Structure 1
Amino acid sequence: MDIKTIGLYAVVGFPYTYKFLWSPFLDYLKPGFFDQRRGWIALMQLACAALIATMAFVDVHSAWTVAAVAVAIAFCSSTQDMAIDAYRTDLLPAQERGLGAAYYVTGYRVAMLVSGGLALILAGEVLGWAGTYLLMAALIAACAVITAFSPSADTPEDELRRESKRQLFGIVKESARNFLSKEAAIWILLLIVLYKVGDAFAGSLTTAFLLKGLGFTLTEVGAVNKTVSLIATLMGAFLGGALMTRMGLYGSLMLFGALQAISNLSFWLLSVMEPDIWAMGGAVFVENLCGGMGTAAFVGLLTSLCSKEFSATQYALLSSLAAMGRVYLAAPAGFVVDAYGWSNFFIFSTFAALPGLVALYLLRSSIQKLAR
């Protein structure tokens, strides 16, 4: 596929942008097994497993069929994410949210290593794409077993409070009223859209840049890019989580946001020099270290904005807004590369982060109050 088509494939993630539309059902409906949060998590994990297995048998030359299955996976995956986000929000006290975000990023990045780095190697060298998709389906199905043995986030009081509000439209109304009562709520929503735009814009084509722009092989990208990115992101997430306890929410968001913007220039440097696998590893390390720190602070921000009785609905809305930057603002990335080249693309991605930092500075008073 050409680079423009690859860029447009980011749009298959649109369920992440609109997941807030069905998020009230996660606060309203209780599955027939486990508790409110774990029941939804397990159900969606099994659904994802079935759909990923389906991908193994799809005609890869039919772009629309691949996109349709991918959208279905994104729907179930985004619903699973809503349940996990609500579970984490309900379970963690305020003082543990920074490190909780670090653990969350850890799990996510381990999954990215397995489905990104290991999958590329297995698909290219061992199993082929069909066998690799079947393996990924089996792994996520096994995660449903882990969900079954995870601790419940609900107390008897939580269940009684949730039962008293178990009216679908009432949940939507009360959730919105609760959030909008927060100081500068509307402007904070704009901040959420803008904060990760630069990082998402550059990240949407990182693998394509290494493969098509620099000519590295699938095995090289899988072994170096994905592995180094995991290590760097984990280091960044835990470093960010630890620093958050000292710097506070606003200070962490500002410093880590600036670092993740500047780190995009490491790929600009890679684009103007001769391809070198060690330089690739260095650029990937710097970008993901800073990105991991920024993600830890950002997840801490989203968690701080949610109320426990509406955590699924509110977190879904907030993370959907964050996904808007990742999905829609990053989709034209392929056209920018096609028109201006890789070097200018990475410079542009750095400047794309500035509006988010300006919005954060203007909202510093409101953000500081959230952590109190």
Structure 2
Amino acid sequence: MTIAVIMYKRLGLSNTDIALYTSWLYLPWVIKPFWSPFVDLLKTKRWWIVTMQLLIGAGFAGIAFSIPTAYYLQLSLAFFWLLAFASATHDIAADGYYMLALDSGEQSFFVGIRNTFYRLATIFGQGILVMLAGALETGTLLPDTPLRIPMAWSLTFYLLAALFIGLTLYHKIVLPRPASDAPRTELSVGQLASDFFHTFVTFFQKKHLGLMFFFLLTYRLGESQLVKIASPFLLDKHAASGLELSTATVGMIYGTIGVIALLLGGVLGGIVVSRHGFRRWILPMALAINLPDALYIYLSAVHPDAWQVIVAVAIEQLGYGFGFTAYMLYLIYIAEGEHKTAHYAIGTGFMALGMMLPGMAAGWIQDTIGYTPFFVWVCICTLPGILASVLVRNKIDPAFGKKS
């Protein structure tokens, strides 16, 4: 998502359009629970993984092809939609395949490796690829023409497409074929629909339902808007009250240093919860994910040197990583009981909805009131999430999350 925001900003789209169009890309994750049962019914998990990877590679190639054209916005958004649905489906298949191809001991061994490679992929996508596009934008490798910026991003996505297609071929050969990875032919579409309906109904029969939704939809209310505007703010011209950093610098600060800080925050969050329990740390985590947003008020008002920007972004992302631990643990907490896996998936759908809806309006709000007032607005929007954490805290089992 971040690379799409930066690319569209460099191609000249307004913050209103960027936030609206890229927020819609969360929709596949919002509705993912509705089609996940059919991934079980049709074909194998291995087939879905390889096929979705091929579609993602083709989608990247389509974006690369469309960028230098006159209809780049319509075409690239169509391919981003393809990527979003393919990626969400890949998540469904990969999670199932992980449990089918490995026994419980192997799953425990590889869970850390899996998470590490996910984080490395984030650094590659938000950091290294953006820095590559930035280097191409400077004209070092491309001629200095009016099409230099579109061509820079086109080449970046062609490289990404080639990488994905290569990985698809590799996975086609090396991925194991576990005997348990087979279509669930004993279930009909009607049975699946009936089971899903029952699961969905039981989710809405949980205790404290209103408070649960209040937390799910407001915990990241400020962050959901900030994440859409942070990169455009770093890139925007001084005349527009932005920091006017280069694309490569944004890739280094936000996509590399910021992501590393995010990882460290997540690790720290897991450690403290395992020692003292979730209930003790939910409020400090809510403060950690929300209070550092105020640093952007300082950045927009002062326009400091690059090192201060680095420190501010690192602190904000460290707090985000630490605080987001509470959100993920709450999803696990509300999923306890019958249909745990399905209820967790439904919870992640509401998580995506909580990012999508506020993010859609973020660009329009910023374009209307300016950067500094927008960041003040973001800080105001953090208050419902903090209140939700206070209210939820008393409902949590003190022993939940504590390492036995």
TM-score relative to the length of structure 1? 0.83
Q: Deviations over 1:295-331 (max 9, x none)?
A: 2332232234446985664333211211112122111
- Distance in structure 1 (CA, Å) of the matches to 2:388 and 2:251: 36
Instruction: State the distance in 2 between where 1:193 and 1:103 align.
Output: 31
Q: Following TM superposition, by how much is the alpha carbon of 1:360 offset from its aligned partner in structure 2, in angstroms?
A: 2.9
Per-residue displacement from partner, 1:160-213 (whole Å, max 9, x unpaired)? 999679821122123224434543245323321221221121111111000001
* Change over 3 Å in CA distance of 1:59–1:188 after alignment to 2: same
- Structure 2 counterparts to residues 195-274 of structure 1, below 5 A: 195-212=219-236, 213-274=242-303
Are the aligned partners of 1:179 and 1:314 in contact in 2 as well (CA < 8 Å)? yes
User: Is 1:113–2:93 an aligned residue pair?
Assistant: no
Alignment of structure 1 residues 342-357 onto 2, 5 Å: 342-357=371-386
Supply the distance in 2 between the matched residues of 1:308 and 1:163 (Cα, whole angstroms): 25
In structure 2, the CA distance between the partners of 1:16 and 1:82, relative to structure 1 (3 Å rule), is same
**Greater mean alpha carbon deviation, residues 11-20 or residues 304-313:** 304-313
Aligned twin of 2:86: 76
> How far off its partner does 1:111 sit?
2.4
Cα offsets for 1:124-158 (capped at 9, x unmatched)? 32472222112223444455556986899x997x9
Structure 1: distance between partners of 2:173 and 2:132: 29
Q: Distance in 2 between matches of 1:243 and 1:147?
A: 40
Higher alpha-carbon deviation: 15-24 or 196-205: 15-24
Indicate yes or no: 2:43 matched with 1:31: yes
Give 2:387's aligned amino acid: V
Question: For the residues of structure 1 that align with 2:55 and 2:325, how far apart are their CA atoms?
Answer: 28
Q: Does the 8 A contact of 2:127 with 2:251 survive in 1?
A: yes
CA distance in 1, matches of 2:153, 2:262: 26
- What's the counterpart of residue 5 of structure 1? 17
310-319 or 337-346: which moved more? 310-319
Is 2:51 the counterpart of 1:43? yes
SS at match of 1:272: helix
Match of 1:338 in 2: 367
Q: Select which of 208, 211, 215 maps to 1:187.
A: 211
TM-score for both structures, normalised by structure 2: 0.77
Q: Deviations over 1:267-288 (max 9, x none)?
A: 1111111331101101110111
Pick from 153, 156, 170 the counterpart of residue 129 of structure 1. 153
Q: Partner letter of residue 155 of structure 2?
A: G
Indicate how the Cα distance of structure 1 residues 308 and 104 shifts in structure 2: closer, same or farther if over 3 A, else same.
farther
Given that 1:250 and 1:364 are in contact with CA atoms closer than 8 Å, whether structure 2 keeps it comes out as yes
1:67 aligns with 2:77: yes
> Any residues of structure 2 matched to 1:288-299 within 5 Å, and which?
288-299=317-328
Change (3 A) 1:103 1:171: farther
8 Å contact kept, 1:306–1:314: yes
Whether the aligned pair in 2 keeps the contact of 1:12 and 1:67 (CA below 8 Å) is: no
Q: Which runs of 5+ in 1 are unaligned?
A: none
User: How far apart, in 2, do the equivalents of 1:316 and 1:298 lie?
Assistant: 14
Measured against aligned partners, the alpha-carbon deviations of 1:31-70 in whole angstroms (never above 9, x if no partner) come to 33xxx4x554443223212211221111454222221111
CA RMSD of the aligned region, Å? 3.6
Q: Is the 8 A contact 2:277 2:399 kept in 1?
A: no
Question: Which piece of structure 1 moves more, 298-307 or 13-22?
Answer: 298-307
* 2: CA distance, partners of 1:113 / 1:160: 35
Q: Distance in 1 between matches of 2:283 and 2:164?
A: 35
Structure 2 counterpart of 1:69, one-letter code: F
CA radius of gyration, larger in: 2
Contact 1:225 1:284 in 2 (8 A): yes
Task: Considering Cα pairs closer than 8 Å and 6+ residues apart, tell me whether 1 or 2 has the greater RCO.
Answer: 1
- Cα distance, 1:225–1:359 mapped onto 2, change above 3 Å: closer
Residue type matched to 2:161 in 1? Answer: A
User: Which stretch shows the higher mean deviation, 142-151 or 318-327?
Assistant: 142-151
Counterparts of 1:289 and 1:147, CA distance in 2 = 37
Separation (CA, whole Å) in 1 of partners of 2:173 and 2:47: 8
Which moves more between the two structures, 7-16 or 271-280? 7-16
CA distance in 2, matches of 1:260, 1:206: 15
TM-superposition CA deviations, 1:82-101 (whole Å, max 9, x none): 445566799899xx99x96x
Moved more, 264-273 or 51-60: 51-60
CA–CA distance in structure 1, aligned partners of residues 79 and 263 of structure 2 = 30
Q: Is the 8 A contact 1:83 1:312 kept in 2?
A: no
- CA-CA distance at 1:215 after TM superposition: 0.6
* Pairing of 1:79-98 with structure 2 (within 5 A): 79-84=89-94
SS of structure 2 residue aligned to 1:31: coil
- Measured in 2, the distance between the counterparts of 1:352 and 1:232 equals 23
Alignment-derived partner of residue 20 in structure 1: 33
Identical counterparts, % of pairs: 29
Change (3 A) 1:24 1:361: farther
Count of matched residue pairs: 361
